[in-house]
Structure 1
């Protein structure tokens, strides 16, 4: 199979998403592990200046949530709170897996639907910065529900440069060869993907291969590709499904292999390819990653999860990637794999920002209440926004990150509505930087269905995700949601207007879901 040839700075997958910019040479065309989920989804009350809001004396803020309590996207924060803070996230696995599930005639489990991953699955045309860091775009439009609008915060990094400009890569592929991987579209797709990737890497890149079933084994130690591609191909071709799934052993051995083959000046990654259906050994994400904590923290080795299979342990893979400062994607077929290898992988090898967080400050003179759509496990306490010891997300070149808010404006609102600030650390010097963007209440004049293409696509994806998880009583309907059966028509019209194949696929998925409701 062959697939592809504001404020100035302060201070001085989908297969194998982690391979990042490795395939740029053949294709011409990130996690808040320790982040505390402590910000509210709705807010109403008095003023809250940046950077640290006055908490007041009464009520309990989301930041006081106790360990193990259930997060609830509809929790209302007491006064005062007009800030919303979260770690950036570029995962897309939830949307990919939902499409696969719907194509098989099943509705996805509401708990596996993460709206931010639906929204971030679509290309956006935000302005790009010239160097490392972000641009901030804030826009919005009115919904069909009185006084409610959707406000979009868009963050973009620079475009990926030519392949020769990236650092060399040292990749440790940890491949699940358990019995469940024998299903078509699992291990066979992983083998073909790895083989294609091997032909596209540069001679100064390195690859290691670890397999796991009931035990883990290093099939190929870290090997420089120049003059050794045949050896890598032999290791990949030898992958065959065997027994049970000891995912914990695979991750631990993968990190040990990555540390042994660590290359200074290179991008060191562990790439986990699995259906994440762990049934042997350690199966808890936190416990698995605690065993390799030193490798993660001292050596900066990050974990990228690539999900495959019709039965897929989404929750475990997503948690592993978050705790491992990485990303997840889901791949169901060759088309997905082609998109990842030629378009998405270049964004995930080189870092342009570490520990990136966003904070949106709403103006209490114009905003009555607001809700952040999704990012439920990426919330950060407002006072931790400028605490660079609190984990954020890792983001590479070519990425866009979108956050959507439902906002109820005050009657006759005029003037400033919101200011969005993104803060990140330089990937090498760890110097902090910030950039901001703002929005006025008068910019909300249009209907969301007649707005800029990108905003309408974002709204459609968010409404779709909201409808899929609204069967879970913990989640309420997003304001302005189309009536049952109407969303697919909206999506179809949007696909015709944009002539976008990805939007056309979204419309098909929405129709499939409406038939199953």
Structure 2
């Protein structure tokens, strides 16, 4: 489990600022923004982001409204998730309200801005440390925007999730939980003298027959908002796919929530699939959204059905919107964390756009030692619940972290692409009490760095060392692995790098352009488009490349 943070420590180091992390309720944030949108004039001013002076965000007289509305907000029912308190004057959720505002394509849609990593001089800090992340929601949220003909909200773009959506075809480890894969070549978008490093971590695959039995508790939002776009209908179809993939020895329970919560199916063996599917098919949208009650009841059901040695996981299917429930988000978050420590994990799956809370869905999964995915099509549901089911269910590493050590005699500066909200203090890499990320069977994690070499650095010298550290969930043993890359290991030409390396460069630049990164201000989506078109010849019949090219084409058309 890893608590996401608003700002990268990398971004704050250059100003000598020590980040303060204070938990606040998303509920308060949601209520405050909703009232502001409806009650305040739409005029906005722009202020620079702490982590990127080139980026600005709208702020709508929040300080004044906070004083006036403080008592009303504190008295209102709260949403259960918690966000991190922003440093004053920095961005949080992007838009919200009952109707679209300022030309936004969807109403009441919430995302969070985590800033952009800067370049770091190795003489100031030669270590880069972060928690591994296997969430993929950002890629499919972006896809939903583009297929609807809209440029994505820049705050919806998390570069690492876009990169980690792809199957990079890394070789499985010969032994242990992970294999490490390093590759380097000139950066096609970084300018003269800049190089790109790709670090891949591949988790071992586990056959369906070898995975542990699973006790799954579906927590299904059946509130009125789930009637929009037939969201509940998509949830039903997605869960049909999942149930049909379960083994007969697995068990399923179903808890639903609208204005209140109720159990519609007690723990039932998957061999009784008709009973499970009939319970799913009977669900209909109803009432308000008491997500707190739904999660509380689901944890109670999962706790009573708990068996040592099984996978115990809640799967929350929702649009992330909650409008009634208990006050005091801290109590609910403490409950989620307590059950996560007892090996009852929480994964979240988002549905719908407009009246959608990405912030809540992402942070609930983080608190619950789970992962966050977004379903925009039935094919995406199939990818999550059929093709990657074992990885979705069974964890092979807990509190997984990566630390990259750059040789200051060889590398002069570096920049990590993405992972802004996954930062871990360098000194905590070997502190096993610090929360980090969870990785499922067969999942891979990829990190990209742009670096610059010192002129005249000996090519045989080590340029960087990548280390990962994690806990084996079965034995409790803490394991550390490493791999190194020397200057002579880099390809002299970008075109000489592997096709998957070149694809990763294109995917990262696509995400950087969409989030309006300072470092991509000179780039055009047409540059990415040309590279991906060329790669279709090197990667024929690769559906993920074809899907990606379609999105790049749509983005390029919108950028013109």
Q: Distance in 2 between matches of 1:65 and 1:243?
A: 35
Is 1:433–2:479 an aligned residue pair?
A: yes
Q: 1:148 to 1:75 in 2, by over 3 A?
A: closer
Match of 1:40 among 6, 10, 13: 10
Q: TM-score, normalised by structure 1?
A: 0.84
Question: 1:118-517 alignment to 2 at 5 Å?
Answer: 118-144=162-188, 145-161=191-207, 163-184=208-229, 186-226=231-271, 228-281=272-325, 288-297=332-341, 299-311=342-354, 312-414=356-458, 415-470=461-516, 475-478=517-520, 482-499=523-540, 500-517=542-559
Q: CA RMSD in A?
A: 2.5
Instruction: Output the CA distance in 2 between the equivalents of 1:284 and 1:478.
Output: 41
1:487 Cα deviation after fit: 1.4
Higher mean C-alpha deviation, range 502-511 or range 73-82: 73-82
Query: Measured at CA, do residues 252 and 505 of structure 1 come closer, stay the same or move farther in structure 2, by a change above 3 Å?
Result: same
User: Which ranges in structure 2 are unaligned for 5 or more consecutive residues?
Assistant: 23-84, 91-113
Give the distance between the partners of 2:11 and 2:536, measured in 1 at CA: 30
Which structure exhibits the higher relative contact order, with contacts defined as CA atoms closer than 8 Å and separated by 6 or more residues? Answer: 1
Distance in structure 1 (CA, Å) of the matches to 2:446 and 2:294? 33
1:63–1:381 contact (8 Å) kept in structure 2: no
Bigger shift: residues 442-451 or 177-186: 442-451
Partner Cα distance (1:42, 1:35) in 2:
12
Partners of 2:536 and 2:382 lie apart in 1 by: 22
Q: Secondary structure at the residue paired with 1:352?
A: strand
What is the aligned partner in structure 2 of residue 114 from structure 1?
158
1:60 to 16, 20, 42: 16
- Give, in angstroms, the shift of residue 229 of structure 1: 2.8
In 1, Cα distance between equivalents of 2:309 and 2:303: 14
Distance 1:43 1:289 in 2: 29
Find the aligned partners of 2:534 and 2:19 in 1 and give their Cα distance: 42
Give the whole-Å Cα distance in 1 for the aligned partners of 2:241 and 2:10.
44
Question: 1:438/1:377 Cα in 2 relative to 1: closer, same or farther (>3 Å)?
Answer: same
Mapped contact 1:38–1:381 kept (Cα < 8 A): no
Aligned partner of 2:109 in structure 1 is: none
CA distance in 2, matches of 1:250, 1:493: 49
Partner of residue 96, structure 1? 140
SS at 1:146 equivalent: coil
Specify the SS of the correspondent of 2:244: helix
Distance 1:76 1:405, change over 3 A: closer
The whole-number CA distance in structure 2 between the counterparts of 1:455 and 1:484 is: 18
SS, match of residue 421 in structure 2: coil
How many residues align? The count is 465
Q: Deviations over 1:282-313 (max 9, x none)?
A: 6997664224332222x211111111112232
Does the 8 Å CA contact 1:143/1:447 hold for their aligned counterparts? no
Report the alpha carbon displacement of residue 193 of structure 1 after superposing the two structures with TM: 2.3
Task: Compare 83-92 and 251-260 and name the one that shifted more.
Answer: 251-260
Query: Contact 1:371–1:406 (CA<8 Å) still a contact in 2?
Result: yes
Equivalent-residue separation in structure 2 for 1:224 and 1:284 (angstroms): 35
- Classify the secondary structure of the residue corresponding to 1:329: strand
1:128-176 per-residue CA deviation (whole Å, 9 max, x = no partner) reads 1134421111111102411111111110111222x22111100000011
- Further displaced range: 394-403 or 436-445: 436-445
